[in-house]
Each structure stands twice: as C-alpha cells, then as structure tokens.
Amino acid sequence: MNLLNVDIISAGYENEIPIIHNIHFEIKKGELIGLIGPNGAGKSTTIKTILGLLEHKKGLVDFQEGVKYSYIPERPVFYEELTLWEHMDFMAAVEGIPDHEYKDRADELLNQYKLSEHAHKFPGSYSKGMQQKAMLILAMIASPDIYIIDEPFIGLDPNAMKLFLESIEKERQRGAGVLMSTHVLDTAEKVCSRFLIVHEGVLKASGTLDEIRGQCGLPAGTLYDCFHHIAEETVNEE
C-alpha cells in the first residue's frame, strides 16, 4: 500500500486561477522521489497542496491512515523565544514520544550534526547552515513515515550535505518515503528512486531515470539533459 497518493487536478492561490494541473503520483515505503523543475514551475505549489495549505484545490491528496509526515521548508522557521532544545521538547510533546526515547534520539542527532554545543541557544542566532541542520534535526526527531523536503541543500556545506544524504538513506532503509524538491540535479540523479519533472505547472515526465529517458527520447541522457529537453520542448510548443 502507498504511503501517499496524490491526484491533483488543479490547484492555486486564487479561485479559478490554477497554478498547477494534473499532478499525479504516489510515494511508497523507502522511496526517494525527486521533484524537479525551474523556478516558478509549480514545485512549491505542489508541496503546499499536499500539505493542505491551499484552499483552491481540485483533486485528492490521500495519506495512508496513521501516516506521520515531517515538512522541511526551504527557509528555516523557528519560534524566536525557544532554544533548539526547547523546540525538540515541544516536538516530542506534540508527537507523544517517550522522554527517554526522545532524549536519546536528540543527543544522537545533535552529535551527528555537530550542534550539541548550541542546543541551548536560540536558532535565530545560528548561521544559515546551522539553521538548516537544526530544521533537519527537528524533522527527524519524530521518525516520520514521510519526509517532504523543499530545497534541502541550500546553506549546507559538502560535509553537511553528505551527512544529510546518509541520514535520509537510513530513514529510507527504515521504510520512510521522501519527496524532495531540488535544483541540484547531479545529486538528485545519484540518490533518487524516481523523478517528477514539472514545467509551467504541469507534470511533463515521471518515473525512473530510464523511464524519463524513454519519455524524452534520450536513451543515454543525464537528468539535466532530460530536464533541458523538456524545457526546450515546452518553449517550442508555445
């Protein structure tokens, strides 16, 4: 059974002015799906629709019963009056995580991301990279069934990026599904199970890299080649 079924006929920010059309896909256990597209293609609108943040939507977003998800936004968001540790306390209370389990998990993640010394400071005082790592920790603390991640590599140095990918791989092995929007196509090509290429609000291609290549007529193409082909094809159709 799928963790999530998405069947968006249309969605947008104003009534009768849709931004995205005909976005259909599912997320299974252990999958990492790359949501690919240029700026303004509809990636963030797709994510907001899945999260239930858009009033003007036609279609269905159906999470499997009992599924928990964590959302990691492109720009970190924190409560100004809470330290990172207090953020984790709050998350544990909301999710009902037993105290000993949560503290062990928190210590493990803080050590991994080298934020142990900063746990009792306000995230607003962190560097951009530290804030991004703090958001990753808060998402992972509850061990969700699905991660929905918007541009996770912004602000991460190469070591932190490697650590993030290793952490996500462990979560996949546990059975978590991941939807990741990213512009970093070479990395996405290496780590994603499947891809969704969105352009001008429409899902133009989907599937494994080999399936995307077949849809684009580029049997030896890279993900970037296929992405560029779809962009050019769309321009020629106009």
- Terminal Cα distance for the chain, rounded: 39
Write down the domain spans for the chain: 1-68+148-157+179-238
Half-sphere exposure at residue 81, Cβ-oriented, CA atoms within 13 angstroms: 0
For residue 220, give Cα distances in angstroms to 33, 126, 211, 215, 231.
Answer: 21, 43, 11, 12, 18
Sheet (strand 20-27) strand order: 56-63, 4-12, 20-27, 202-207, 194-199, 32-36, 177-181, 146-150, 69-72
Dihedrals φ, ψ of 235, to 5°? Answer: -65, -40
Residues 75, 225: Cα–Cα separation, whole Å? 28
Q: Rounded to an integer, what distance in angstroms lies between the CA atom of residue 8 and that of residue 44?
A: 14
Per-residue confidence in pLDDT tens, the chain, 238 aa: 799 999 999 999 998 899 999 999 999 999 999 999 998 899 999 999 999 999 899 999 999 999 999 999 988 999 999 999 999 999 999 999 998 888 999 999 999 999 999 999 999 999 988 998 999 999 999 999 999 999 998 878 888 889 899 999 999 999 999 999 998 999 999 999 999 999 999 999 999 999 999 999 999 999 999 999 998 876 555 5
Query: Hey, which CATH number is domain 1-68+148-157+179-238, 3.40.50.300, 2.60.40.420, 3.30.499.10, 3.40.50.720?
Result: 3.40.50.300
C-alpha angle 73/144/166, rounded to 5°? 75
Say if pTM beats, i.e. exceeds, 0.75: yes
Count of positions (residues) in the chain: 238
